[in-house]
Structure 1
Amino acid sequence: MFPKKYSNLLFILVMGFGMSLLMTLIITYINTGMDNEYVDRFIKAWSVSLPIAIIAALLVGPPIKKFVDKITK
């Protein structure tokens, strides 16, 4: 188990991983269809999208959390 102090970072990493996985699967299918090369195209696209998603989540996550904390009780 991880210490509680890392929960926000772990949430961002897991969320970035999951969202990039799901979005890349769907977008690759929509753009290129399903055939024997689908998995290779998906892996190639995901290898680019995963780091982008993680970096974006790390940059955008904390300010969004602060904003949501301000507008909720």
Structure 2
Amino acid sequence: MSATADRRLPARFALPVTGLILSGIMTIIISGVSTFMALGFSLLALGAWPIAWISSWIIAFPTVLVVLPIVRRLVSRLVAPA
């Protein structure tokens, strides 16, 4: 067994880790776009962005944890297996 495999999380953590990464990436992009569209490209917007990001991530992460299993079931009914 490699040293890398020893440091990985067990498979049961796949959903929360997926949700954490997915919600983090999506909220940083969307909050950045929204903040800069509302305030323009300025130091004010740059300072407001992290607050907007954290605020949206607090909502998005638990939402993804609830919605992702539903979406996976729906996709499995709509898409043929490979």
Q: TM-score higher than 0.5 here? A: yes
What is the aligned counterpart of 2:76 among 61, 69, 72? 69
What is the aligned counterpart of 1:43 among 31, 46, 50? 50
For structure 2, which runs of at least 5 residues remain unmatched after alignment? 1-7
2:64 matches 1:57: yes
2:14 matches 1:7: yes
What is the aligned counterpart of 1:24 among 31, 50, 60? 31
Q: How many residues align?
A: 73
Q: 1:67 deviation in Å?
A: 0.7
CA deviations on 1:15-52 (whole Å, 9 max, x unpaired) are 00100011111110111111122221111211210111
Higher alpha-carbon deviation: 4-13 or 46-55: 4-13
Larger Rg: 2
Contact 2:15 2:65 in 1 (8 A): no
Q: State the TM-score, normalized to the length of structure 1.
A: 0.88
Q: State the TM-score, normalized to the length of structure 2.
A: 0.80
Structure with bigger RCO (C-alpha 8 Å, 6+ apart): 1
